[in-house]
Chain A
Amino acid sequence: MLNPNLKLNMKMFDEKIEQMPIRQGFGEGLLIAGEKDLRVVGLCADLTESTKMNLFSEKFPNRFIQMGVAEQNLASVASGLAAMGKIPFISSYAMFSPGRNWEQIRTTICYNDRPVKIAGSHAGISVGPDGGTHQAIEDIAITRVLPRMIVISPCDVLEAKKATIASVDTGTPVYIRLAREKTPVMTTATTPFEIGKAQIYWQSDKPQAGIVATGALLHKALIVAKELEGKGIQVEVMNLSTIKPLDEKTLTAFAKRTGKIITVEEHQIRGGMGSAVAECLAKNFPVPIEFIGVDDQFGQSGTPEELIEHYGMGIKSIIKAVNKILKR
């Protein structure tokens, strides 16, 4: 059953569940952060509306800097602003920031210990028709490897909004992973959120396996849990929105309770959230793990649903992985 303490959307399994783009939550969160804190500044590389930073730039033109298509400069100028006490948010597509400007993020932001917040929009394969060049499916790997960096992959628009507001005061660099398409709104305004805290969204009395999901695919994991319950198979589902620092305590307890883990993410299997989970559990409580994600390939054009299915991240693939792990 859905965890009643988290005040999740009661229409979770309704076909008409409200759908909103996760990036919208970033835009709304940044606007609130900007109203609350004069130190907040916004920088964008020619994608102000796409990344929803336009909500901030229209309200606070004096605190917004249009960088043009120059992502390396985007990262390092933000570092300089942070050196003077500003709290810069930089936005572009994830493929270009933190993709193209990774070394600038490493050296001028992380190594230099500057609290710049990086919003990477259009992450994941569900970017769709734009094709493989624009589908960032390596961004979790390249950000979670950086010392000092916090990595957050919100599951929906409301969690993205809360994560954006919470990131202002971490004192560290933060990467917030955003998606383009409208996806189900699973949480509500009153669902608790804390950076670094994993949450069990679907609970069972006697779980036979546990699914750890991040981003919008969490919704598919929840549908799987409900469906399997009807067939007498009990699984639990965790929302792992903060990938770094990893909530090792909750994750290890989850592995102890469920005994078998399936990780679900819209990202390369190698180096992503699943790898972070495996690193933790191999050390603390080794259990069998199945990894759902993109298996060492690049994407292509298609509708988001077509691509999710084709690359093995849909509901059928998750059910298959659960069945497989139950036999292990």
Chain B
Amino acid sequence: MEFIDERIIELKEKANDIRISLIESLIAAGSGHTAGSLDMADIFTVLFFHTLRHNSKKPDWPERDRLVLSNGHICPVLYSAMAHAGYFPVEELKTLRKFGSRLQGHPHRDFLPMLETSSGPLGSGLSQAVGMALADKIDHGLTSDRRVYTLLSDGELECGQTWEAAMLAGKEKLHNLTAVIDRNNIQIDGYTENVMPLESLSDKWRAWNWHVIEIDGHNIEEIADAFEAAKAVFGKPTIIIAHTIAGKGVPEFERDYRWHGNPPGLGPTDKVPADKQGAVALAELRTLGGEIKSEHQ
């Protein structure tokens, strides 16, 4: 795909807006998951503003692509991307995790019916996405052109159910399924390779008959190209292993597993005191405006 710099910069600015809004929502909530939300902002941006076939004014449009967020705890970035895409007012993001809010701590369709699924308990999103892709395969066989996307964390690959689903998708040759792993190398108790080694990750997926693409999960062009490339793969589901930097966008938060489950104000204090964390994060993100360049520049 030919990507002009203006388009890349436009998407990068959108990703930055999504990061700012999700940090604001986490500050307002006083709890929630920061690191994964920040590091998936670029991928959510490409999905909602470039790749997905969807219509925020008609969320139940039957022909839409499907997006299943498996690791529901990074819903701040999902909600922020949805708000910026026009599903609901950006202002509503500040109700995150509050009583009566549509924006539950982990996504719940009862409260926000436009969600494709309720999620939180890890390991079941890939299975649900496989079910959605299978439904289209049953109805349309290999001619199905709707795509089912699912986003997984690396930590949740430790759940056995993920591999049950991987086996089935390979067996059923689900060409219409694209899964993305947020390979940020962290989970609650530490770095994934210390908690439970996952490598060699790409070999594991290939063994189950998946097409594997590895990308820089912050390079807009690579992200968009990977989603396009997946559409051309015949007879196999595609897994995109997106190498990301946990906490991306706020250098003080980056690559530190202690930011997995804490909002600004409750994170580790060795770099930034608790009472300054929110302000530092917003300052870092807000001063990026005008400084954003395309990867080509």
Contact = CB atoms under 8 A, between A and B. Distances in A.
Interface string A221-237: 00000000000000000
Interface string B94-138: 000000000000001110000011111101100111111111101
A77 B131 CA distance: 4
Contacts of A76: 124, 127-128, 131, 161, 165
Contacts of A107: 118-121, 124
B161 A84 contact: no
Interface string B160-172: 1100110110001
A78 B116 CA distance: 14
Contacts of B123: 72
Contact of B121 (A68, A81, A103): A103
Contacts of A104: 124, 127, 161
A321 interface: no
Given A70-B168, A72-B161, A103-B121, A83 B110 contact: no
Contacts of B118: 107-108, 111-112
Nearest to A113: B109
A112 B116 CA distance: 9
Contact of A73 (B66, B68, B116, B161): B161
B124 to A, nearest CB: 4
A41 B138 contact: yes
B165 A73 contact: yes
A116 B127 CA distance: 14
A86 interface: yes
A77 B134 contact: yes
A103 B68 CA distance: 18
Contacts of B138: 41, 62-63, 86
Interface string A261-273: 0000000000000
B168 A83 contact: no
A79 B135 contact: no
A70 B164 contact: yes
Contacts of B110: 111, 113
Contacts, number: 100
Nearest to B141: A62
Contacts of B109: 112-113
A65 interface: yes
Interface residues of A, number: 29
Interface string A65-92: 1011010110111111111111010000
Contacts of B165: 73, 76-77
A189 B119 CA distance: 43
A78 to B, nearest CB: 6
Contacts of A75: 127
Contacts of B167: 68, 70
Interface in B10-25: none
A73 B168 contact: yes
Q: Is the interface of B mostly helix, strand, loop or mixed?
A: helix
B120 A77 contact: no
A80 B168 contact: no
A84 B117 CA distance: 11
A84 B128 contact: no
B128 A80 contact: yes
Most buried by B among A77, A103, A112: A77
Contacts of B133: 80
A80 to B, nearest CB: 2
A77 B127 contact: yes
A138 B121 CA distance: 23
A81 B66 CA distance: 12
A81 B132 contact: yes
A86 B131 CA distance: 10
Contacts of A82: 131
Contacts of A68: 164, 167-168
Contacts of A108: 117-118, 124, 127-128
A228 B117 CA distance: 54
A59 to B, nearest CB: 15
Contact of A79 (B120, B131, B168, B172): B131
A324 B172 CA distance: 59
Contacts of B160: 72
Contacts of A72: 123-124, 127, 160-161, 164
A41 B139 CA distance: 11
B29 to A, nearest CB: 21
A37 B65 CA distance: 25
Nearest to B159: A72
A63 B91 CA distance: 45
Most buried by B among A68, A78, A108, A113: A108
19 contacts: A65-B172, A67-B168, A68-B164, A72-B123, A72-B127, A72-B160, A73-B130, A73-B161, A79-B117, A83-B116, A83-B128, A83-B131, A84-B131, A84-B135, A85-B135, A88-B131, A107-B121, A108-B117, A108-B127
Q: Across chains A and B, which 7 residue pairs bring their CB atoms closest together, nearest first?
A: A80-B131, A76-B127, A84-B135, A73-B164, A70-B164, A80-B128, A77-B131
